[in-house]
Chains A and B, each alone.
Chain A
Amino acid sequence: MSSVNINGIKDKAAIVGIGETEFSWDSGRSEIQLACEAIKAACDDAGISPHQIDGLVRYEMDTNHETLLVQTLGIPNLRHWESVSYGGGAGNAVVGHAAAAISAGFCNYVVCFRAANLRSQLRLGQARNPERIAGGAQAFAAPWGNMAPVHHFGMFVRRYMHMYGATSQHFGWVAVTLREHASRNPRALRRTPITLDDHQNSRMVADPLHLLDICQENDGAAAIIMTSTDRAKDLRHADTPILVEAAAQGSGPQNDGIIYRPDLAMAESVNTAQDLWARAKLGPSDIDALMFYDHFTPFCLLNLEAYGFLPFGEAKDFVDGGQNIRFDGTLPINTHGGNHSEAYIHGLTHVQEAVRLIRGTSSSQPPKKSINRVLSCSSVAQLSAAVVIRRG
């Protein structure tokens, strides 16, 4: 057996608290304040004091550094810290990293968080290239107007449509379903239901991507608290242990510049999926609900295929009409409304929703089945991460 298939973190760490700020287009406060508010809320949910935090897994992109958090939260001794690179790509990776640190005994209580004013300050959806570029992938893209994520990812979407016959309507059904979930979620930023016509009539941003295919930009913060499975038995949610069963990350091949991968009709998460399933000794049929990083709606289809829920090219039929992926369908996706309609916090809200589903507290709790195991994964086309969490 390959050593990458030894599941060294299996069930050793638990997610014991979740917390967030309100989501908005202008938070009116600093990113460090947002971070601390979300972390305090997650500590309250877990039933611990922020002073008990001794591990920290940041997003590399986050402006809130370790010393600032130690100072502001009054952490007496931070024993372990690390940061995971990229934005959405770090979304589920932070959970795997925290589970590894806990399994290794590096620390007792780890916080994973993401706090950012991604609408009122740095907008990642806009061109962010300097006027003159000192080489690298940008220099071979921006001079022809290829300057934003929607441009890079649109290339995948066009190719996917060409290969498999998926249409904008199929992506529209994802948008309609996510918005329906958000309409039931009091935290969500966009709660007004939309129709397929609304999606089709929404502004074309980068053909084939309509405005309503694209995740929103917003301000806000989210945090989760993790600890060892043993220690979780003494905390507030001891009656519903939520364990990290397996995690995986993947990147490559040919990922720099995003668009040079050999096959743009396939999410790069095919590698991550293989590792995850082998490591977890699980497969798609073991999963009750899905949290997909929905930076762009088509990536829900690409990931249904990459993770083996459907053969390549068949996700379009599965999402058509939306019934299968609704909260009351056979395979619910993003019951919180996702990046698309709840909030864009680089995937950490997806992990939080997975926790709620297992606790039975989602605003769109599937009515007919108990949720025992959730796959949460991010695929941002140059790198991906996934985590399986389950009821203990």
Chain B
Amino acid sequence: MDEREQSGKSRPMVGPLEGIPLPDLERLPDYERGFWDASRNGELRIQRCLACGMLRHLPTPMCPHCHSLKYEWSEVSGMGVVYSFIIVRNPVHAAIREKEQIPYNICLIELEEQQCLRICSNVINIAPEDIQINMPVKATFMPAVDEPAVVLPMFIPDLKA
């Protein structure tokens, strides 16, 4: 648990957590499916209102800005910055505890396409101690450990930014 490597830092996450809740692809509402369908194709797509053009996440059946019901799943670059984050060091779920998956990070990523457009994810390949607010990151896609049909957008530090 919380293994420190020689650097004195905790080990990085390398992929999705195991054994935790996942979306049930069979039961999702119609206005959410596009996110998961795109992710399975290695794309990050966000709902965009066809009337006013605003991107929105969480997905909703109606545009909260102009109230249009028409939307598309708009591909975004997957580039963004860390808006806020936490490092979980105490498990609140049995699978986290049993499989010794702490520490892990939860990051709120602000996507570059629109102010305040944020999605929740993990940043992999970086020690938790090195994660910082405003750090540039880019999306990558990895299947969930327990259900490969569910592909999760994950983020990696964007060293070129």
Residues of A within 8 A of B (CB): 125-127, 129-148, 150-151, 154-156, 158-159, 162, 203-209, 211, 254, 256-257, 259-260, 262, 264
Q: How far is the CA of A133 from the CA of B120 in the complex (A)?
A: 16
Residues of A within 8 A of B90 (CB): 203-206, 211
Residue of B nearest to A209 (CB): B86
What residues of A have a CB within 8 angstroms of the CB of B20 in the complex? Answer: 127, 129, 142-143, 145, 147
A144 in contact with B150 given A139-B23, A158-B85 (CB within 8 Å):
no
**Are B133 and A158 in contact, CB atoms less than 8 angstroms apart?**
yes
Given A140-B120, A206-B87, A135 and B29 contact (CB-CB distance below 8 Å)? yes
Report the bound CA distance from A137 to B64 in whole Å.
Answer: 16
B55 to chain A, nearest CB (A): 12
Choose among B27, B93, B121, B122 the residue that contacts A134 (Cβ–Cβ < 8 A): B27
State whether the Cβ of B62 lies closer than 8 Å to any Cβ in chain A: no
Which residue of B has the minimal Cβ distance to A141?
B120
Contact with A along B103-130 (1 / 0, CB 8 A): 1101010000000101111100000100
Given contacts A130-B21, A151-B86, contact A144 B92 (CB under 8 A): no
Q: List 14 A-B residue pairs with CB atoms under 8 Å apart, sorted by A's residue number.
A: A135-B32, A139-B28, A142-B21, A143-B21, A143-B22, A143-B23, A144-B106, A145-B104, A147-B92, A154-B86, A158-B84, A205-B89, A206-B90, A211-B90
| B157 at interface by CB-CB < 8 Å | no
Of all chain B residues, the one with the shortest Cβ separation from A207 is B87
Interface size class of chain B, counting residues whose CB lies under 8 Å from the partner chain? 35 or more
Task: Given the known inter-chain contacts A125-B92, A139-B32, A204-B89, please indicate yes or no for A132 contacting B23, CB distance below 8 A.
Answer: yes
Q: Beyond A143-B150, A151-B86, list 15 extra A-B contacts (CB 8 Å).
A: A127-B21, A131-B22, A135-B24, A136-B29, A138-B21, A145-B122, A147-B21, A151-B88, A155-B106, A203-B89, A204-B87, A204-B90, A205-B90, A206-B86, A207-B103
Which B residue's beta carbon lies closest to that of A123? Answer: B92
Task: Determine how close the nearest CB of chain B comes to the CB of A39; give it in whole angstroms.
Answer: 32
When distances are taken between beta carbons in the complex, the residues of chain A under 8 Å from B133 are 158-159, 162
CA distance A131 to B116 in the complex (A): 30
- Which of B21, B103, B106, B118 has the most A CB atoms < 10 Å from its CB? B21
List residues of chain A with CB within 8 A of the CB of B21: 127, 129-133, 138, 142-143, 147
B144: chain A residues at CB < 8 Å are: 143
Binding site for A on B (CB under 8 A): 16-17, 20-24, 27-29, 32, 35, 57-58, 64, 83-90, 92-93, 96, 101, 103-104, 106, 108, 116, 118-122, 128, 133, 144, 150, 152
What B residues does A147 contact at CB under 8 A?
20-21, 92-93
Q: Which residues of A contact B101 (CB under 8 A)?
A: 145
Docked-complex contact B22 and A206, CB < 8 angstroms: no
Tell me how many residue pairs across A and B have CB atoms closer than 8 Å.
139
- Cα(A125)–Cα(B120), bound, Å: 20
A155–B106 alpha-carbon span in the complex (Å) = 9
Q: Which residue of A lies closest to B22 (CB)?
A: A143
Contact between chains at B23 and A260 (CB < 8 Å): no
The smallest beta-carbon distance between A149 and chain B, in angstroms, is 9
Looking across the interface, which residue of chain B has its beta carbon closest to that of A127?
Answer: B93
Select which of B17, B86, B92, B150 is within 8 A of A208 by beta carbon.
Answer: B86
Q: How far is the CA of A140 from the CA of B23 in the complex (A)?
A: 8
Q: How far is the CB of A118 from chain B (nearest CB, A)?
A: 15
User: Given the complex, which residues of B lie within 8 Å of A206, measured CB to CB?
Assistant: 86-90
Q: Is the CB of B57 within 8 A of A140?
A: yes
B152 cross-chain contacts in A, Cβ below 8 A:
143-144
Question: What residue of chain A has the Cβ atom nearest to residue B95's Cβ?
Answer: A127
Q: Are A144 and B23 in contact (CB under 8 A)?
A: no
**In whole angstroms, what is the CA distance A205 to B90 when docked?**
5
Measured between beta carbons, the chain B residues less than 8 angstroms from A264 are 83-84, 108
Give the docked Cα–Cα distance between A206 and B93 (Å).
13
Given contacts A206-B87, A207-B89, contact A145 B96 (CB under 8 A): yes
